[in-house]
Chain A
């Protein structure tokens, strides 16, 4: 067996590329075992030690190629679509529909059975939002890292943080949920699991609307009356966030769940 200097240099370079991975040391140990065994096999086949090492490294792939594959997979975690994430996608898709229909009925019909249906639809948005958000977390299982934890804490703590605001609790709740959505969106963008555009719309439209109100207030342009197209920027933000959520829901609902047999393709995993 040679001194395996080339392998050591290769592992150093690979370590530089993947050191941020949680299990980098284990990965490197596994790859070292592979490269040493491959080198031994080539030596036994008659190659000199240097040639054997070179061939083992050539067959393994460049540090950049291997590190990219490792990092991409690590970011994804076991992020796979399942029946639950598909249902969560449907829940996300229903939220803006229930909001529009429910609010329209709520405003136009003031009493009676139909009014009750409108209120019920509005009330169902809360559990649907819960299912949609849990589904998004599950769809990114392990890939959201600290951003996911921060977003989850904000989502769960939002009612308790908003409650002390009393009459203004609704506004505070919306602000916290917007921030939580933005944090979640950053994690989702870094994870590279779902398409970027709907994530951006979902995560940042509300914050932009919020920022517009703050800027208008600071500039003295916000008098308390609607300032853009007859509605508040924050309302546009909420509507756009809902659109992004529905878009993400559409995407998730159309993915093939790996825990059910595929309808059209012979293989499930990958």
Chain B
């Protein structure tokens, strides 16, 4: 599944991953790959602009640390980001449920023979 399929969904996925644990970019991307069973395969470098966008929008915060002497930027979900994620989760669940009801078709009334 490429970048196109993720369009419009990536921000929620990033928020969901980082809300579980503050993470740096590489860890976020690896977790995205792992949780999706490698279905979400996109150029890793294109995830960083999305992280920066979420930070500018106030949904993420970041801080720098130096594990092993290497500078590392760690992202956390802000309170505003947490609220946005909760809202998006709810809307996503409703959306998926509605799509499934449509796609599975009418099960209440059997098709006429």
Report A-chain residues with C-beta under 8 Å of the C-beta of B111: none
Expressed in whole angstroms, the minimum distance between the Cβ of A154 and any Cβ of chain B is: 26
The interface on chain A, measured as residues whose beta carbon lies within 8 A of the other chain's beta carbons, has a size of 35
A217 within 8 A of B: no
Expressed in whole angstroms, the minimum distance between the Cβ of B111 and any Cβ of chain A is: 30
Q: Which of A63-71, A87-95, A174-182, A230-238 contacts B (4 or more CB under 8 A)?
A: A63-71
Of all chain A residues, the one with the shortest Cβ separation from B13 is A267
Contact (Cβ within 8 A) A270 B11: yes
Report B-chain residues with C-beta under 8 Å of the C-beta of A38: 26, 44
- Complex Cα spacing A14 to B24, Å: 20
Report A-chain residues with C-beta under 8 Å of the C-beta of B9: 267, 270
Chain B, range 72-113, C-beta contacts under 8 Å to A? 72-73, 84, 87-88, 91-92, 94-96
For A159-190 the 0/1 string (1 means CB < 8 A from B) is 00000000000000000000000000000000
Cβ-defined partner of A33 (8 Å) among B70, B88, B94: B70
- Complex Cα spacing A27 to B72, Å: 11
Report B-chain residues with C-beta under 8 Å of the C-beta of A32: 70
Contact (Cβ within 8 A) B92 A73: no
- Complex Cα spacing A7 to B50, Å: 22
- Complex Cα spacing A32 to B66, Å: 13
Tell me if A's interface is mostly helix, strand, loop or mixed.
helix
A30 within 8 A of B: yes
Which of A34, A38, A70, A270 has the most C-beta atoms of chain B within 10 angstroms of its own C-beta? Answer: A34
A26 within 8 A of B: yes
Contact (Cβ within 8 A) B46 A65: yes
Contact (Cβ within 8 A) B91 A266: yes
Expressed in whole angstroms, the minimum distance between the Cβ of A37 and any Cβ of chain B is: 5
A127 within 8 A of B: no
Expressed in whole angstroms, the minimum distance between the Cβ of B84 and any Cβ of chain A is: 7
Contact (Cβ within 8 A) A269 B12: yes
A36-B70, A59-B43, A269-B12 known; A70 vs B57 contact (CB < 8 Å)? no
Report A-chain residues with C-beta under 8 Å of the C-beta of B11: 267, 269-270
B45 within 8 A of A: yes
For A13-31 the 0/1 string (1 means CB < 8 A from B) is 0000000000000110111
B2 within 8 A of A: no
Q: Which of A74-82, A201-209, A247-255 contacts B (4 or more CB under 8 A)?
A: A74-82
Report B-chain residues with C-beta under 8 Å of the C-beta of A104: none
Contact (Cβ within 8 A) B91 A66: no
Interface residues of B (CB under 8 A from A): 7-12, 24-26, 29, 43-46, 48-50, 52-54, 56-59, 70-73, 84, 87-88, 91-92, 94-96
- A–B complex contacts, Cβ < 8 Å, 19 sampled: A33-B25, A33-B70, A33-B73, A36-B70, A60-B45, A62-B43, A65-B45, A65-B46, A69-B48, A74-B52, A262-B91, A266-B88, A266-B92, A266-B96, A267-B9, A267-B92, A268-B84, A268-B91, A269-B59
The 7 closest A-B CB pairs, nearest first, are A61-B43, A266-B95, A66-B45, A73-B49, A269-B11, A61-B45, A78-B56
